[in-house]
Amino acid sequence: MLRLDGSELPRDVTWYSCGPTVYDAAHLGHARTYVTFDTLRTVMERYFGLRVTHAMNLTDIDDKIISRSHESGESPAALAERCAADFFEDMASLGCKHPDKVLRVTELMDVIIAYIQRIHDRGYTYSTTDGLYFDLRRFVQDGHSYGKFRPIDAVPDAGFALWKLAKGSEPRWQSPWGAGRPGWHIECTALASHAFGDSIDVHAGGQDLCFPHHENELAQAIAAGVDAPWVKHWVHAGHLSIAGHKMSKSLKNFISVKEALREFTPRQLRLAFALHPWQQPMSWGTRMTEARARERTIVSFLDKALSVPALDPGPDLAAEERLAAALVKAKANVRECLQDGLDVSSALEHVFVLIREGNARTTSAANGSSALAATASYVVSVLWAMGLDFRCLGVDKVFYNGVRDEALRLRDLGVDVKTLFRLCDEARHRA
Ligand SMILES: [Zn+2]
């Protein structure tokens, strides 16, 4: 069974992810975060057979959206709508499953206002001329813990906004505290609880959301009176940096998902992220060169292994038994890595150890190898369980061989099939 932070996950998993603020194109930092979540969810579902329900919020009203809409002349609603559609298109291009529930802030204003009311009724708010704030000082003085994600050494002297009063022509919704819009932190506490009630199995976000966002989300849930741990497991995906810097427009190192997909396939990007420990910071660049090389290693192994007959073990029984034993060992190692904390990158290394053993067997297995067929089949299935799809290779191979055999037959009949052979060669090199 799968354990996170030492405790077992149930068969039906509720998973909430902090979604994007939609005011610009999705960049590679988003790609790493959401591909990581998709990979972990895929392992839960395909490897452990868990049923995951994934909810994600969409921040479709916020300061950044308002200021970008002032610059562009587009209305905040139109800007958010366009960027949201673009975000989900990019995520689909990366092979990420669409969330089971997408929770848009502007569509669930009542839910958010009701949650603020819950906190307000318990006395953890104060008002200013700007709006309604969370009373962090009182929260800490009442003995509630604050500082799970980053220890604090003093009682905070300021709170954070729960409800911001609208200024000028800013978009606004009516509330008991005046017309305005919600603060950012309250969205997630209210919407995650709306989706799953007062206890959630997994709450995910990028590493930069630990503090203060997740700290404040948690404080709000406690202030609203949630008894049990509000979130059982926090999942934080590591940062992606470029040459040591966080990706940002101002540093001119912003690579959009669309730009990256012109240079790399979705599978290469997914592999690059999967090869790196998902909680750790990752630097863009070196991993991509490595991912391409690793992909070639997988493809070339499967290519060789799938061209060997599967049934006749051939004369080299010792080599056959060596590979069969390596396969048993790899399966156990992969399970051990995944079942305790979803260590996908270490599990992948065991798959590559197995591929090396498999490659050694291909040199002596011209007559056939049952262990090699089993190894290739395991490699394809375990990579698929990690969200890395190499399944089409076998089908391509059958198709390719069929076309090549037909071309050979036609050539023997005197037909000019040079073009067909050239296309076959191209297809072979692409694979
Ligand atoms: Zn959030």
232 membership: H or E segment, kind and range? strand 231-237
Query: Rounded to the nearest whole angstrom, what is the distance from the C-alpha of residue 186 to the centroid of ligand 1?
Result: 8
- Average pLDDT estimate for 12-34: 96
How far separated are the first and last CA of the chain, in Å rounded?
A: 35
Query: Rounded to the nearest whole angstrom, what is the distance from the C-alpha of residue 304 to the centroid of ligand 1?
Result: 46
* Residue of 412 and 53 predicted with greater confidence: 53
Query: Rounded to the nearest whole angstrom, what is the distance from the C-alpha of residue 190 to the centroid of ligand 1?
Result: 10
Q: For residue range 85-101, what is the model confidence (pLDDT) as tens digits? A: 999 999 999 999 999 99
| pLDDT given for residue 309 in this prediction | 85
228 and 368 belong to one structural domain: no
Q: What is the CATH number of the domain that holds 225?
A: 3.40.50.620
Handedness of CA 138, 142, 147, 148 (dihedral sign): negative
Tell me the pLDDT band of 20, cut-offs 50, 70 and 90.
very high
71 membership: H or E segment, kind and range? helix 63-72
Q: For residue range 269-319, what is the model confidence (pLDDT) as tens digits? A: 999 999 999 999 999 888 888 999 999 999 999 999 988 888 776 678 899
> What b-and-e string marks burial along 400-411, b requiring 16 or more CB atoms within 10 Å of the CB?
beeebeebeeee
Query: Rounded to the nearest whole angstrom, what is the distance from the C-alpha of residue 373 to the centroid of ligand 1?
Result: 45
217 and 75 belong to one structural domain: yes
Q: For residue range 390-426, what is the model confidence (pLDDT) as tens digits? A: 987 655 666 666 777 788 888 888 888 887 777 776 6
Does 272 fall in a domain?
no
Query: Rounded to the nearest whole angstrom, what is the distance from the C-alpha of residue 321 to the centroid of ligand 1?
Result: 51
Query: Rounded to the nearest whole angstrom, what is the distance from the C-alpha of residue 5 to the centroid of ligand 1?
Result: 20
* Residue carrying the six token digits 């051939």: 314
| CB neighbourhood size of 208 (10 A) | 14
Query: Rounded to the nearest whole angstrom, what is the distance from the C-alpha of residue 124 to the centroid of ligand 1?
Result: 20
Query: Rounded to the nearest whole angstrom, what is the distance from the C-alpha of residue 209 to the centroid of ligand 1?
Result: 7
227 and 370 belong to one structural domain: no
Question: To the nearest whole number, what is the mean pLDDT of the chain?
Answer: 92
Query: Rounded to the nearest whole angstrom, what is the distance from the C-alpha of residue 286 to the centroid of ligand 1?
Result: 30
356 and 210 belong to one structural domain: no
| pLDDT given for residue 427 in this prediction | 65
Query: Rounded to the nearest whole angstrom, what is the distance from the C-alpha of residue 374 to the centroid of ligand 1?
Result: 43
250 and 304 belong to one structural domain: no
Q: Which residues pair with 7 in a beta bridge?
A: 4
Query: Rounded to the nearest whole angstrom, what is the distance from the C-alpha of residue 188 to the centroid of ligand 1?
Result: 4
Handedness of CA 185, 187, 190, 195 (dihedral sign): negative
Q: Which of 196, 228, 263 is the last residue of a domain?
A: 263
37 and 115 belong to one structural domain: yes
Q: For residue range 113-169, what is the model confidence (pLDDT) as tens digits? A: 999 999 999 999 999 999 999 999 999 999 998 989 998 888 777 899 999 999 999
226 and 120 belong to one structural domain: yes
What pTM does this model have?
Answer: 0.90
Q: Is the pLDDT of residue 430 over 90?
A: no
Query: Rounded to the nearest whole angstrom, what is the distance from the C-alpha of residue 255 to the centroid of ligand 1?
Result: 23
Q: Is the pLDDT of residue 107 over 80?
A: yes
Does 310 fall in a domain?
yes
Q: For residue range 229-276, what is the model confidence (pLDDT) as tens digits? A: 999 999 999 999 987 787 776 777 889 999 999 999 999 999 999 999
238 touches 277 (CB < 8 A): yes
Query: Rounded to the nearest whole angstrom, what is the distance from the C-alpha of residue 216 to the centroid of ligand 1?
Result: 9
Query: Rounded to the nearest whole angstrom, what is the distance from the C-alpha of residue 203 to the centroid of ligand 1?
Result: 9
| pLDDT given for residue 110 in this prediction | 98
Q: Which residues pair with 173 in a beta bridge?
A: 180
Query: Rounded to the nearest whole angstrom, what is the distance from the C-alpha of residue 213 to the centroid of ligand 1?
Result: 6
Q: Is the pLDDT of residue 64 over 80?
A: yes
Query: Rounded to the nearest whole angstrom, what is the distance from the C-alpha of residue 55 to the centroid of ligand 1?
Result: 11
| pLDDT given for residue 368 in this prediction | 87
Query: Rounded to the nearest whole angstrom, what is the distance from the C-alpha of residue 61 to the centroid of ligand 1?
Result: 14
Does 277 fall in a domain?
no
The conformation of residue 383, written as its DSSP 8-state character, comes to: H
Query: Rounded to the nearest whole angstrom, what is the distance from the C-alpha of residue 172 to the centroid of ligand 1?
Result: 21
Domain count along the chain: 3
182 membership: H or E segment, kind and range? strand 180-182
207 and 239 belong to one structural domain: yes
258 and 292 belong to one structural domain: no
Does 305 fall in a domain?
yes
293 and 217 belong to one structural domain: no
| CB neighbourhood size of 342 (10 A) | 25
Does 197 fall in a domain?
yes
204 touches 236 (CB < 8 A): yes
* Residue of 428 and 371 predicted with greater confidence: 371
Nearest to 166 by CA among 129, 205, 114, 124: 129
The span from the CA of 2 to the CA of 335, in Å, is 9
Query: Rounded to the nearest whole angstrom, what is the distance from the C-alpha of residue 145 to the centroid of ligand 1?
Result: 19
Q: Note the helical H segments in 215-343.
A: 215-223, 257-263, 266-275, 286-306, 317-339
**Identity of the residue numbered 241:** S
For the chain, the helix, strand and coil percentages under 3-state DSSP, each to the nearest 5:
55, 15, 30
Does 22 fall in a domain?
yes
- Average pLDDT estimate for 170-175: 97
Does 280 fall in a domain?
no
Domain that holds residue 419: 396-430
Query: Rounded to the nearest whole angstrom, what is the distance from the C-alpha of residue 56 to the centroid of ligand 1?
Result: 9
| pLDDT given for residue 395 in this prediction | 54
| pLDDT given for residue 415 in this prediction | 82
80 and 120 belong to one structural domain: yes
134 membership: H or E segment, kind and range? strand 131-134
Q: What is the CATH number of the domain that holds 351?
A: 1.20.120
71 and 86 belong to one structural domain: yes
Query: Rounded to the nearest whole angstrom, what is the distance from the C-alpha of residue 16 to the centroid of ligand 1?
Result: 9
Does 374 fall in a domain?
yes
- Average pLDDT estimate for 202-210: 96
59 touches 20 (CB < 8 A): yes
- Average pLDDT estimate for 33-59: 98
The conformation of residue 173, written as its DSSP 8-state character, comes to: B
- Average pLDDT estimate for 209-226: 96
